[in-house]
Structure 1
C-alpha cells in the first residue's frame, strides 16, 4: 500500500488545498503529515517549536512521513521542510511525487504574516525567499514533475494533475452486506488475480465482439493457477434470456464448478447482468467479478448487485440481488466503443447529475465535446462521479426498498420504449427520452421545471429527446408492469429539484398522456 500522489513544495504552494481536492476527485482519503505530527505530539506545531525546538519537530516529521508513505493509499501532503531529511528523500524514491511550485509574491499573499508557521514569524517575505531558494533543488530532486499554482483555482490544478497522473486507479467503495470496490482506471485486467483466490476454475462469459479480450483474460486466469472456461453468449439484449442462462449453467455443471469457483463477466451491461444472474443462481450463489467494457456497464449495470434477464413480459423482471466480489472499470475499453454507444452510456451519467451530483451536469455543459472523447480527463471524471453516486445509493439500499428507486429516473418510460421496440433501441437512448418524459411530467405536476436544461444537455451529446407518436396505448401497457408500481398505482421518479428526486404516485393518466404528446417527434 502506498499513496497515489505525494505533494511537496514551499509554504503557500497549496499542498493541503490541492491535495484534499485531488483526493476528493479520486474518491480517496487525504493525509497531511503536519496534521499527523500535531496529533502525535498532542499540541499544535508552533507549540512543538516553542517547547522542544526545531530538531525535535524534524524527528517527529521524519516519523510521520515514513508512516504515511508506507501505509496510506490515498493522497499525502508533506510539510515544506520534509525534503531536508536525506532519509525522507530516499523514502520518496518510487513514489509519485508532485512538486507544487509557487512564486514568491503569491506565496507571501497566501501565508500572510506567517501565523502558525514558526519559521516565518520574523520577516516572512525575506525568510520565505531564503527557504524557497534553499529547498528548490531538493523539491526538483524528489519530484516526478512540477505544477505551477500561481493564480490558479484548485479545480484547474486538479484537472491538470488528473491528466498527468494518468493511470492512477480510483477505488469507489460499495458497502452493504457484502462490501466490494468498483475500481476505475486503465489496464485493470490483471487486477482480477486477487479475486481468484481459492478458485480452481473460472468461467468467462463474453459476447463475440469481446472474444479477443476474453482470451487475454483467460491467459491471466491460467497464470494465476485457475482453469479458464470461455463461454460465448449472444451479444446485447439477445443474451439476456433464461435460455442463455440455462446454457451457461449446463457448462458450469459439465465443468464441475463448485462454490469456491468464480464467474467473470466481460462485456457490456447485458453480459454483466447475465453473468451476475448465472453466478447468483449456481449453487445458490458463487463469486462473480464484473469487467464492464461499455460506459453504460461501468456506470450502471455492473455496479450494485442487481442481476437479471428479460422475458416477454418485460425487461429485468427475472433476476436476483447478488453483489460482485469487485467491478473493474477499465477506461481503456471506452476507446473501442462506437460513438453512438459511448453517447448512450452518457445518458446514465447525466441521470446521476440530475438526481444527485449537479457538478456532472455543469461539466458536461462546459465541454460536451470532451464528454464524448473516450480519452478525455473530463469523461473519466464524470464517469467516476456517476459510479460514486450509484455506489452511495446501493450501499444504503441494496434491495431497492427505498432510495435505490431514484436510480430509475427516466426509466419507466425508457423500459416501455425498449419493450415495444423489442429491445432494438440502445438502453441509453431510451433513458434519454425517458428523462425528457420525466422532465415534462415534473413540469405538468408543478414540480421543478428542467425541461429546457434536460433537452439542451442531451442534445449536446447527440442523444434523442423525442419518440414517435401513435403508440401511447402500447407504452402505457408496458409502463403498468414497471417494478415501481404498487398494485394498480403507477409510480414515477420525478425531481423536486436537481439533486432532490422523489418517488411519486400523484401523476394522473391525463398528465402521462400530455407528457407523451410533449415528447412526440
Structure 2
C-alpha cells in the first residue's frame, strides 16, 4: 500500500486509530513521536525540559522527513508537526487523514496522559488555543477529514478505510479546479462541498427520489434542502423545464451563495448545470450521477445544455461544477443494458487516449458489466481522467476538446432520428463503428474489427438501419463541430491518436454508412 499519514490535535486519537487502521489494512504502523524519542534516547517531555521546544521541533522535522521517505503503511504525526512548512510540503504528495475532536472530549482524553509538555499549565485553555491555531494547517494538508468525537475506534477506522478507497480525479479548470470523487459511499461527502449555502435545491426524477431524499437529509441543521422533481430522461432537458426550476428558485429565495445538486443520469446533470449557470448568472452546482454514462460523460467537464427542436444540446453554457460525487453504490441496481450503454463512453476514452481501457474490457467483458467488480471503478477512473486531461487543455471547446466527440457526429444524428428513444451509449457505439470506417476509408488506421469486437462483447450495437443516409446526412450537417458549411469529423490516425479533420468527402461519408449498414 501507499503511505497514509494521520494528523490532528492532541486527544484526537492519532496513535490509537492509526494502529487500528494499520492492522485493518494489514500494513505496518509507525509513530513519529516514538521515532523522536528513540533517536534522542529520552522521552519527549525530557527533550522539552532539557533542550526546549525549538530543539524538539528540529528533531521532529527530521523524524517526519525520514519516515515519509522510508515508511510504507500508516504514520501518525505529533499534533504540532504541521507547524513546519517543510513538513507540510512533504505531506502534499501523500494521503493525509485529519482527525478532528471536540474540545471537551479532547480535554478528557489528554487528562489521561500527563506526559504532554505543552498541556502542563491550564490544559483546557492551552488546548483550545492550539486547536484554533493549527486547524487551518491540518485542513491545508488533509485529503480526508473525520470527526472522532463520541465515536469508537472501530467505527472511525472503518470510515477511514472506505474513504481511502475513494479515487480522486482533479479537473484543472483554470478558474475553479474541482474534484471528481469515485468510490463507494461518496454521496455522503456532499456536506464538504456546501460552501456558504443556506439553501440547497436537489433536482431529481421520479426514479431517483429516494436517493434525492437521502441527499437532502445530508445537509446540516441551518441549511434548507428543497427537492424538485423533473420529467424523466430527455423530456426534462428543455428550456421550459429549466424555466419552471428558475421560478421555483425565485420562490425559495435562492441567492448566489446557494447550491444546486443534480441527482440522476446525464439528462438531470445537464439540466441542473444549465439551471445553475443561468440563475443569477451562475450559482454553484454539485453532481451526483446515478448512471455510469452520466458519471463518465455529462457530469464531468462543465458542459451544460438543453435540447431544442433543432437538435440535442445546441443550447447551453460552460459551467464547471463544484464537485462530482461518483458513488459506485448507485450503479448496483442498474440493468446490465444501461451499464453497457455507459461503457460505450468508457470505450471511447480507450480509443482516443487510454488503450488500457480496451485491454481491461477485452480481458474480461463480464467483469466490466458487474457493478460490484473493482474493475468498474478502474474503468470509470480512467475514463474520467481522460476527460479531465482534455478539458483542462480546452475549457471552452475551442480545439482539443472536440476529440471527446469521437463517434458522436453520427451518434447525435441517430438519436434525433430515433426521437431520443435510443440510449445515448448505444448511439455512440454505432457512431464509433462509423468513425472507424471513415478512418480506414481516409487512409488512416483501420480499427473497425477491434471496435466492433469490443463493443459486441459488451452487448452494444455495431450496425444501423440501411436506407436512411439522406436523413442522417441532413442532421450531421448541423453538428456543432462544423465550421460554417465545412463538416468536421473526429477520426483516428492511430490508436490513441485522434485528429479533427475537415476533408472527408461526401463519397467517403456515404461509403462508411454503406459499410456500417451492410
Select 1:214's aligned residue among 212, 215, 237. 212
User: What stretches of structure 2 of length at least 5 have no aligned partner?
Assistant: 6-30, 36-57, 70-74, 78-87, 97-160
Select 1:329's aligned residue among 326, 331, 342. 326
Select 2:505's aligned residue among 491, 500, 508. 508
**Closer/same/farther in 2, CA of residues 202 and 496 from structure 1, 3 Å limit:** same
**Closer/same/farther in 2, CA of residues 352 and 59 from structure 1, 3 Å limit:** closer
Q: Equivalents in 1 of 2:313, 2:164: separation in Å?
A: 34
2:272 is matched with which residue? 275
For residue 195 of structure 1, report the CA deviation from its aligned partner: 1.5
**Closer/same/farther in 2, CA of residues 232 and 76 from structure 1, 3 Å limit:** closer
For residue 518 of structure 1, report the CA deviation from its aligned partner: 1.1
2:424 is matched with which residue? 427
Contact 1:263 1:275 in 2 (8 A): yes
> What is the CA deviation profile of residues 75-112 of structure 1, one whole-angstrom value per residue up to 9, with x for unaligned ones?
579xxxxxxxxxxxxxxxxxxxxxxxxxxxxxxxxxxx
User: What stretches of structure 1 of length at least 5 have no aligned partner?
Assistant: 7-32, 38-55, 78-163
For residue 197 of structure 1, report the CA deviation from its aligned partner: 2.3
Q: Equivalents in 1 of 2:406, 2:468: separation in Å?
A: 21
Select 2:302's aligned residue among 305, 308, 313. 305
1:65 is matched with which residue? 67
Contact 2:187 2:326 in 1 (8 A): no
> What is the CA deviation profile of residues 113-138 of structure 1, one whole-angstrom value per residue up to 9, with x for unaligned ones?
xxxxxxxxxxxxxxxxxxxxxxxxxx
Select 2:465's aligned residue among 462, 465, 468. 468
For residue 305 of structure 1, report the CA deviation from its aligned partner: 0.3
TM-score by length of 1: 0.71
1:180 is matched with which residue? 178
Q: Equivalents in 2 of 1:4, 1:328: separation in Å?
A: 24
**Closer/same/farther in 2, CA of residues 165 and 326 from structure 1, 3 Å limit:** closer
Q: Equivalents in 2 of 1:187, 1:244: separation in Å?
A: 30
**Closer/same/farther in 2, CA of residues 369 and 74 from structure 1, 3 Å limit:** farther
Select 1:376's aligned residue among 357, 373, 376. 373
Contact 1:443 1:449 in 2 (8 A): yes
**Closer/same/farther in 2, CA of residues 397 and 248 from structure 1, 3 Å limit:** same
1:47 is matched with which residue? none
Whether 2:443 is the aligned partner of 1:440: answer no
Contact 1:184 1:331 in 2 (8 A): yes
Contact 2:162 2:185 in 1 (8 A): no
Contact 1:167 1:185 in 2 (8 A): no
Equivalent residues in 2 for 1:39-54 (5 A)? none
Contact 1:343 1:372 in 2 (8 A): yes
For residue 224 of structure 1, report the CA deviation from its aligned partner: 4.8
For residue 470 of structure 1, report the CA deviation from its aligned partner: 1.4
Q: Equivalents in 1 of 2:286, 2:483: separation in Å?
A: 33
**Closer/same/farther in 2, CA of residues 347 and 394 from structure 1, 3 Å limit:** same
For residue 466 of structure 1, report the CA deviation from its aligned partner: 0.5
Whether 2:311 is the aligned partner of 1:285: answer no
2:10 is matched with which residue? none
1:345 is matched with which residue? 342
> What SS does the aligned partner of 1:400 have?
coil
Q: Equivalents in 2 of 1:445, 1:203: separation in Å?
A: 49
Contact 1:489 1:505 in 2 (8 A): yes
1:450 is matched with which residue? 447
For residue 58 of structure 1, report the CA deviation from its aligned partner: 11
> What SS does the aligned partner of 2:483 have?
coil
Contact 1:167 1:186 in 2 (8 A): no
Please tell me the root mean square deviation across aligned C-alpha atoms, in Å: 2.5
1:357 is matched with which residue? 354
> What SS does the aligned partner of 2:225 have?
strand
For residue 225 of structure 1, report the CA deviation from its aligned partner: 2.7
Task: Count residues with an aligned counterpart.
Answer: 386
Contact 1:5 1:74 in 2 (8 A): no
Equivalent residues in 2 for 1:66-465 (5 A)? 72=91, 168-176=165-173, 177-221=175-219, 223-465=220-462
For residue 73 of structure 1, report the CA deviation from its aligned partner: 7.0
> What SS does the aligned partner of 1:327 have?
strand
Contact 1:196 1:226 in 2 (8 A): no
Q: Equivalents in 2 of 1:316, 1:270: separation in Å?
A: 10
**Closer/same/farther in 2, CA of residues 241 and 373 from structure 1, 3 Å limit:** same
1:139 is matched with which residue? none
> What is the CA deviation profile of residues 1-21 of structure 1, one whole-angstrom value per residue up to 9, with x for unaligned ones?
xx7758xxxxxxxxxxxxxxx
